[in-house]
Chain A
Amino acid sequence: MKNIGLAIFVILLLVGCENNKSFKNSLDNAQISESDIEYFQNLVGDTVLFTVDQSGLRPDAISILNAQVNWLKEKKFLPITIEGHADEQGTREYNLALGARRATAVREFLLAKGIERDRISIVTYGKERPLRVCSNEDCWSKNRRAVTVVGKKIVE
């Protein structure tokens, strides 16, 4: 719902812009700075989705992660935690392991693109923290996710 709401918001901004101003200027007008964490969450995209029982990065995930890399390289002081999640169609322990695979796949991508290792924590939640609550593919596809949480580091 959040994403849909945001999409509508952005469309309204674009429609409302005079002289075909750039997308970025529209956002400036709305006072969301590119350096804000909300900008990262909503406009860069903090979430990538996965196929059932898979932890491989899909093309849609890679394009989001490339954008994440660009943003994260500008904010070198910010730690990040990558949360891996699974949908409810698996058993608890397996889903914890699967979530760890997904979070690790994202971490490996970020590392390969030059994000510093000591900035990144990973955690798995398995099926413990669903974003969407229906029991069909509409929700499951949104719950199979890895979320890059900016500004959070897990200290053990």
Chain B
Amino acid sequence: MVRHSVLKFLKIFSFTSILFINFSFVAAQKNDAPQLDMTVNKGVIKPISLAVPSFIKESGANSIISRELAKVISNNLDSTGLFKSIPQSAYVSMPLSFNTPVQFSDWSIINADVLVMGSVGLKPDGRLEVKFRLWDVSQQKEIGKGKQYFTNSESWRRISHKISDTIYTRVTGEGAYFDSRVVFVSETGPKDNRTKRLAIMDQDGANFRLLKHPPSLVIAPRFSPTTNKIIFTGYETGKPRVYLMDLSSEEITSLPELKGMSFAPRFSADGSQIVLSMTENGNTDIFISTLSTGVKRRLTTNNAIDTAPSFSPDGKSIVFESDRGGGQQLYIISTQGGDAKRISFGKGRYATPVWSPRGDLIAFTKIKEGKFHIGVMRIDGTKERLLTTSFLDEGPAWAPNGRVLMFFRETPGKAGAPSIYSIDISGRNLRKIKTSSFASDPNWSPILN
């Protein structure tokens, strides 16, 4: 086995920054630096071989949760394409107690690189106690320190996501993203009479739930980065207009300053402002509105279509699309106004730019020669890479770690319908997210608290 450092692996993807996440209900790990070597061969990644035995049952826990905790962790890590779980049927032994020494030979014989050991118990007050430790099998040493979680039993799935995030972060050095949700549009009915409903699910497709709202058309919900709210476009009045929804109460608020036709809203990274498009006399321009005051100001003023704006993480710039140069291209403008600078120059049309939460890349939809693509480019427009191609791929959304994108893909023809997909920004690991209806317009939440 040729072993290269994780740093080499990171270099291949041109990543420099590493994001650390502190959990609110456990002591943060001080030392979450990548610890495991990975095998890299001509840019093809050999996944890390992972063993996740069912969690050891302690006082009062049921065997369903002990199995499911392990299953959700395996699914999460497998979904990255960087890990591959060894089926439990191949294990030569099962750990019997959380504290007995690990029999590393039992795990090296099945070629496990990493072993996840966990336990789950039920406390007298009804809370679950979940513990886990992460082992490097070949080095026979622990990776980071063990963690312990207490939660009500309905939240066991979130503990699986937290543990998945810790494993992923410790092994790859990338930021966390499993303990997050996706808001999207659930679609039912025939293509010429589609019903669209706002919906929310965990990032792995679990806990799908429709949100309450009037039956009129809805479009493109987006998470607030700081509060438990979404913003979306709805047709309740008969015209497209931007609304806020509180996700805890599902109460909807309209924003009086956005009367007329308003759409394509997104929050600033601090959650205090939204940027959106408004149409007046047939002309669509970009506006910024401050939520606390309801004061909006115009950012662009020309006769072109200026739409699909997205804030930079530092709140200083907006990337948007405009056909001011003839066709749709991407531009960046200061939030203080002034001249917009064009950043895309390739053949074809560029649309729906979204600034990465890391600030380094812009994801976009590209239409070229009748095909749609999801792509990424640096913020100066260089190093464009197209990651996907199909009849209709549209609307990229960043995972909170800036490493994975979701988008929707619509199939052609009478029976054509959209589904949500995810892809690594390396262009690897295209996956369809299972949803119980057609699904479009995904948007990824920040990591949950």
Q: Is A60 an interface residue (CB 8 A)?
A: no
Q: Is A23 an interface residue (CB 8 A)?
A: no
Within 8 Å by CB of A135, from B217, B328, B416, lies B416
Q: Which partner residue on chain A sits nearest B370 by CB separation?
A: A89
Q: CB-CB < 8 A to A94: which residues of B?
A: 305, 307-308, 321, 323, 328, 351
Q: Is B282 an interface residue (CB 8 A)?
A: yes
Given A132-B192, A135-B416: A91 touches B367 (CB 8 Å cut-off): yes
B374 → A minimal CB distance (Å): 11
Q: CB-CB < 8 A to B414: which residues of A?
A: 133-134
Question: How long is the Cα–Cα vector from A88 to B263 in the complex, in angstroms?
Answer: 18
Q: Of residues 107 to 156 in A, which have CB atoms within 8 Å of B's CB atoms? A: 107-108, 121-125, 128-135, 154-156
Within 8 Å by CB of A133, from B217, B219, B281, B413, lies B413
Q: Of residues 390 to 416 in B, which have CB atoms within 8 Å of A's CB atoms? A: 391-392, 394-395, 410, 412-414, 416
Question: How long is the Cα–Cα vector from A74 to B217 in the complex, in angstroms?
Answer: 33
Q: CB-CB < 8 A to A156: which residues of B?
A: 237-239, 259-260
Q: Is B159 an interface residue (CB 8 A)?
A: no
Q: Is B220 an interface residue (CB 8 A)?
A: yes
Q: Are A103 and B282 in contact (CB under 8 A)?
A: yes
Q: Is B148 an interface residue (CB 8 A)?
A: no
Within 8 Å by CB of A91, from B190, B239, B282, B365, lies B365
Q: Are B367 and A90 in contact (CB under 8 A)?
A: yes
Number of A interface residues, CB 8 Å?
35
Q: Is B441 an interface residue (CB 8 A)?
A: yes
Q: Is A65 an interface residue (CB 8 A)?
A: no
Q: Are A97 and B307 in contact (CB under 8 A)?
A: yes
Q: Are B192 and A133 in contact (CB under 8 A)?
A: yes
Given A94-B307, A130-B191, A133-B190: A124 touches B220 (CB 8 Å cut-off): no
Q: Are A154 and B238 in contact (CB under 8 A)?
A: yes
Q: Are B352 and A93 in contact (CB under 8 A)?
A: yes
Question: How long is the Cα–Cα vector from A55 to B281 in the complex, in angstroms?
Answer: 13
Question: How long is the Cα–Cα vector from A152 to B8 in the complex, in angstroms?
Answer: 64
A95 → B minimal CB distance (Å): 10
Q: Are B192 and A131 in contact (CB under 8 A)?
A: yes
Q: Is A92 an interface residue (CB 8 A)?
A: yes
Q: Is B279 an interface residue (CB 8 A)?
A: yes
Q: Of residues 291 to 323 in B, which have CB atoms within 8 Å of A's CB atoms? A: 305, 307-308, 321, 323
Q: Is B240 an interface residue (CB 8 A)?
A: yes
Q: Is B277 an interface residue (CB 8 A)?
A: yes
Q: Which partner residue on chain B sits nearest A153 by CB separation?
A: B238
Q: Are B192 and A93 in contact (CB under 8 A)?
A: no
Q: Is B66 an interface residue (CB 8 A)?
A: no
Q: CB-CB < 8 A to B160: which residues of A?
A: none
Question: How long is the Cα–Cα vector from A98 to B308 in the complex, in angstroms?
Answer: 13
Q: CB-CB < 8 A to A105: which residues of B?
A: 282
Q: CB-CB < 8 A to B307: which residues of A?
A: 93-94, 96-97
Number of A-B pairs whose CB atoms are under 8 Å? 110
Question: How long is the Cα–Cα vector from A113 to B192 in the complex, in angstroms?
Answer: 33
Q: CB-CB < 8 A to A133: which residues of B?
A: 190-192, 413-414, 416
A86 → B minimal CB distance (Å): 11
Q: CB-CB < 8 A to A132: which residues of B?
A: 192
Within 8 Å by CB of B220, from A92, A103, A107, lies A92
Q: CB-CB < 8 A to A68: which residues of B?
A: none
Q: CB-CB < 8 A to B392: which residues of A?
A: 88
Q: Are A104 and B282 in contact (CB under 8 A)?
A: yes
Q: Which partner residue on chain B sits nearest A104 by CB separation?
A: B282
Q: Are B367 and A89 in contact (CB under 8 A)?
A: yes
Q: Is B261 an interface residue (CB 8 A)?
A: yes
Q: CB-CB < 8 A to B192: which residues of A?
A: 129-133
Question: How long is the Cα–Cα vector from A12 to B441 in the complex, in angstroms?
Answer: 47
Q: Is B264 an interface residue (CB 8 A)?
A: yes
Q: CB-CB < 8 A to B283: which residues of A?
A: 101
Q: Are B277 and A97 in contact (CB under 8 A)?
A: yes
Given A91-B308, A123-B239, A130-B192: A100 touches B217 (CB 8 Å cut-off): no
Within 8 Å by CB of B264, from A89, A93, A100, A122, lies A93
Q: Is B284 an interface residue (CB 8 A)?
A: yes
A123 → B minimal CB distance (Å): 5
A77 → B minimal CB distance (Å): 20
Instruction: Enumerate the 3 nearest inter-chain pairs by beta-carbon distance, A residue then B residue, closest first.
Output: A104-B282, A135-B412, A97-B284
Q: Which residues of B come within 8 Å of A, CB atoms?
A: 190-192, 194, 196, 217, 219-220, 237-240, 259-261, 263-264, 277, 279, 281-284, 305, 307-308, 321, 323, 328, 351-352, 365, 367, 370, 391-392, 394-395, 410, 412-414, 416, 441
- 9 more contacts with CB within 8 A, not counting A121-B238, A156-B238, are A81-B238, A91-B352, A93-B220, A93-B351, A94-B308, A96-B277, A96-B307, A128-B219, A156-B239
